[in-house]
Amino acid sequence: MGSTIQGFDEDIAIIGMACRFPGDATSPSKLWDLLMDGKSAWSEVPESRWNQDAHYHPSQERAGSNTVKGGHFLRDGEQNGKQFDAAFFNITRRETETMDLQQRIVMENVYEAMESAGLRLEDVKGSKTSVFAAVFTDDVRSILQEDPDLSVKYKPIGTSAAILAARVSWFYDLRGSSFTLDTACSGSIVALHTGAQELRAGLSDMSIITGVNIIESPEFMFRASGLGMVSPDGKCYSLDARANGYGRGEG
């Protein structure tokens, strides 16, 4: 979250932050500790996501398989949105059944960022606050589309990436710009840049920036493995001779 006094030359203040990353880094301070301790948040693919043994193959030429052994995953439950206080956000249980986990995480993290900034709901209601959300994959959407028994009524909004920023604006009654963008891995930093430009142009008094990624299906792994994009061990070795692709992660 950032705010500024109108004017191009004014500095932008970051007044609140929240995060949720693998390795139990569920706050900025815990993320700092994880980095300072030099710990890795890597793990094998959790059994709750998919049967990795059934999908793994070391050759990227093998269709319908992935070359990756693991990645960086949030814990199932409260961390990855599978436990969600729908009533708090005025969302019905039936609507929640077809609500992307990424939408749930964004709603919760924005609230935590508000708390971090010392802002109350009434402080932002009706304000000229913009929301820019970044998202790339839509694993949950593809899974939900395969279940015909789930509510057809709420699937379009529960699985649409376009709704991500709009949910935040609607719940807090924000009156600034609001849109979701997808520039793949650079999404969050592009959203941050967009928010900064919005503030400097005087189009918003405050801007909420968020980015999210949840891995629930092996489908993207298949495509990324076939292209040789991902590291076989699921780890990044940036600026290192060992670099052989990137490691996927949630947050």
Neighbours of 143 (CB within 10 A): 14
- pTM for this prediction: 0.91
Topology of domain 2-41+81-213 in CATH is Peroxisomal Thiolase; Chain A, domain 1 (3.40.47)
pLDDT in tens, the chain (251 residues): 665 545 456 789 999 999 999 999 999 999 999 999 999 999 999 999 989 899 889 888 888 888 898 999 999 887 788 889 999 999 998 898 889 999 999 999 999 999 999 999 999 999 999 999 999 988 888 787 777 777 678 888 888 889 999 999 999 999 999 999 999 999 999 999 999 999 999 999 999 999 999 999 888 888 888 888 999 888 998 899 999 999 999 99
Which pLDDT does position 211 carry in this prediction? 98
Contact 5, 12 (CB under 8 A): no
Distance CA 64, CA 50 (A): 13
Beta carbons within 10 angstroms of residue 118's beta carbon: 9
Q: Report which of 157, 145, 138 is spatially closest to residue 91, judged by C-alpha positions.
A: 157
- Give me the pLDDT at residue 217, please: 87
pLDDT at 149 (0 to 100): 72
CB 101 within 8 A of CB 140: yes
| pLDDT at residue 118, rounded to an integer | 98
Q: Nearest-CA neighbor of 71 among 251, 250, 226? A: 250
Q: Are strands 43-44 and 70-71 parallel, antiparallel or unpaired?
A: antiparallel
3-state SS assignment for residue 134: strand
User: Residue 183 has what pLDDT?
Assistant: 96
